[in-house]
Amino acid sequence: MDNYLYREEILDHYKDPHNFGKPHTFDISSMQYNPFCGDEIELFVSTEDDTVRDIHFKGKGCAISLAAASMLTDFAKGKKKTALTKFSQHDMLDLLEIELSETRKKCALLGWAVLQDCLK
Amino acid sequence: MKDIKKQFPIFQNRQLIYLDSAATSQKPVMVLDAVRAYYESYNANIHRGLYPIAEQATKKVEEVRQKVAKFINARRPEEIIFTKSATEAVNLVMYTWGRENIDQGDIVVTTIMEHHSNFVPWQQLAKEKGAKFHVLDMDENSQISILNFQANINFKKTKIIAITYISNMLGTINPLKELIATVRKENPEIVVIVDAAQAVPHKPVDVQALDCDFLVFSGHKMLAETGIGVLYAKKELLEAMPPFLYGGDMIREVAIEKTTFAGLPNKFEAGTINIAGIVSLGAAIDFLNAIGMDRIQEHEKTLTKYCMEALQNVDGITVFGPRDLLARSGVVSFTIDGIHPHDAAQILGDMNICVRSGHHCTMPLHTRLGVPASTRASFYIYNDEQDIDAFISGIKKVKKIFQSK
């Protein structure tokens, strides 16, 4: 189909999200909620020294928010915490490779905001 | 209704499929011209200007007040108060009548299907006064029924009932006349405030037949500009109420020691009101009257029926609101299995099909329905069956995008 926003990679992540579900063990978790659309994302992070050893998420929401969270968990796994705290909103939007309106940026950045909260 | 679209300049963009009139309506050239004529030929502040254009502007505002009164069949023009929005009109009643009349132990009643603007003010007033805030549920037909009123309202302790005429999410037309008659029979002291923001643009509304105490609506949903709203209230209530805002135009006499307030309607219209907005509202009413409110309602009913039937043939669609078309206005809210309303609205939007997704300022209702959000299509005089065909094929495309892999 010709709708670039909903390109195949986004839809794949939405339908079959990576690292989805609450793991048995984790070190840090955080949840955020967007009352305007009812989207919610919860992240579970396991760390080893300064490294994100494992990361999972669960939640519900639109294709953009769920695909973004899924792609973010793939990206964050194995990265240094210090590097991830420098991972900006702009970087997150780049990771998705789609043009988003201001309204939809909130969807894309929900998981990112939860991750930043976990790294605090 | 065939040539109506041509009278709306925005539809010169032929790609535009506008199905969001419950949020705001488009404007006909007649309304735009009226505003332009005001600014170009008699722009002046109203009251006390002793020159021709000021007198003309003052006269125009009072003419529109009479026009509005006639449009909703109010007894007197001074029962029409111009506000900036329907929301401000509800707040006016809450801050003046509400604060004077609601005490600890009283009950304030509203319904689960209210727009936040007729919900939050009463919730906050109840909280402030230590009154009980009672939210009525709807019945299985997504309506507020007489039985529901009789079984669930404590008529003795209830002071005010805030209820919508037509739900902006469900499209439900509540049987207001019968509901208010029930209230009058049980306790004539109870005051009823009606949110008619989705009713006045779409059907004939008669405040005397309804026998409501307060009724609010906004101009921008009925072809007029944004920034103009109307409060209708029975004269006796308005006379007893304290002013809402203090300032110019609402006084009779001001001295250092004291101020006496103006009579109706000026007491409630402090500051320079939205004259251009009022002019636009007058033109909008003329436009609607020329078509006829009965015809408008009939037209929207036809479109709603067409849309509901077409949606029935698409798998995985859940439509909210009454099945019974007689209890339904031109609003169709729905969800699509497995597709978030934001995604649906976005893909439709990319095709220039303008629908709305979210909670439509009815979060308690969405919680009650068990969905975080919905997608809403809403119709008005300029919509036709081709718009709905485009919408339905848009929905099919949304489904295709999400199914393709």
Verify whether residue B354 is a known catalytic residue. no
Tokens of B19: 């199905």
Cβ contacts below 8 Å, chain A against chain B, sum to: 54
Indicate which of A3, A8, A9, A64 best probes the interface with B, i.e. most B CBs within 10 Å of its own CB.
A3
Q: How far apart are the first and last CA of chain B?
A: 43
Q: How confident is residue B403, by pLDDT bands cut at 50, 70 and 90?
A: confident
Cβ atoms of B192 and B161 closer than 8 Å: yes
CA B82 to chain centre: 14
Contacts of A15 in chain B (CB under 8 A): 402, 405
Contacts of B341 in chain A (CB under 8 A): 37, 62
Looking at residue B183, the DSSP 8-state letter turns out to be H
pLDDT category, B405, cuts 50, 70, 90?
very low
Q: What percent of chain B has pLDDT over 90?
A: 97
Q: From B35, B17, B2, B3, select the one nearest B223 (Cα to Cα).
A: B35
Round to whole Å and give the CA distance between A76 and A44.
12
* Beta carbons within 8 Å of B161's beta carbon, 6+ residues apart: B109, B110, B153, B183, B190, B191, B192, B193
| Two tokens, residue B272 | 């320079």
**Residues of B in Cβ contact (< 8 Å) with A64:** 342-343
B49 against B133, higher pLDDT: B133
Looking at residue B2, its pLDDT comes to: 76
Query: Does an H or E element contain B101, and which?
Result: helix B99-101
Alpha helices by DSSP H, listed for B20-51, are 29-41
**Cβ pair B169, B200 in contact under 8 A:** no
Question: Looking at residues B31-57, what average pLDDT do you find?
Answer: 96
> Tens of pLDDT along B63-112?
999 999 999 999 999 999 999 999 999 999 999 999 999 999 999 999 99
Across the beta sheet with A28-34, the strand order is A28-34, A39-48, A51-60
B402 reaches A (C-beta below 8 A)? yes
Complete domains list, chain B, with CATH = 4-20+292-403 (3.90.1150.10), 31-289 (3.40.640.10)
Residues of A in contact with B346 (CB under 8 A): 5, 104
Looking at residue B404, its pLDDT comes to 61
> Kindly report the CA angle at B145 between B140 and B146, in degrees rounded to 5?
145
**CA atoms of B380 and B170, how far apart (whole Å):** 16
For chain A, list the domains and their CATH numbers.
Answer: 8-119 (3.90.1010.10)
End-to-end CA distance of chain A: 40
**What's the pLDDT at A3?**
63
Look over chain B and give the mean of its residue pLDDT values, rounded to a whole number: 96
Predicted pLDDT at A2: 52
The whole-number pLDDT of residue B216 equals 98
Q: Do B405 and A12 touch (CB under 8 A)?
A: yes
The pair of three-digit structure tokens given for residue B85, joined into one six-digit string: 């929005």
pLDDT per position as a tens digit, B196-237: 999 999 999 999 999 999 999 999 999 999 999 999 999 999
Contact state of A8 with B405 under an 8 Å Cβ cutoff = yes
- Mean pLDDT, contiguous 10-residue spans, chain A (120 residues): 76 94 96 85 95 95 94 96 95 92 91 95
Under 8 Å between Cβ of B23 and B331: no
How far apart, in whole angstroms, are the C-alpha atoms of residue A1 and residue B23?
Answer: 30
Contact A6 B400 (CB under 8 A): no
Residues of B in contact with A11 (CB under 8 A): 401-402, 404-405
Report the pLDDT value the prediction gives residue B385, as an integer from 0 to 100. Answer: 97
Report CB contact under 8 Å: A60, B372. yes
Q: How many CA atoms lie within 13 A of B87 on its CB side?
A: 9
Tokens standing for residue B309: 């039937």
Contact B402 A63 (CB under 8 A): yes
The predicted pLDDT at position A1 comes to 43
Contact A41, A65 (CB under 8 A): yes
In angstroms, the CA B40 to CA A110 distance is: 49
Average pLDDT of the residues in B5-17: 97
**CB contact residues (below 8 A), chain A span 39-58, against chain B:** 39
Which has more confidence, A38 or B276?
A: B276
Question: What's the gap in Å between the CA of B397 and the closest CA on chain A?
Answer: 9
- pLDDT tens-digit map of B168-179: 999 999 999 999
The beta-carbon neighbor of B342 closest among A1, A35, A37 is: A37
Say which residue the tokens 């519900």 belong to.
A60
Complex ipTM value:
0.85
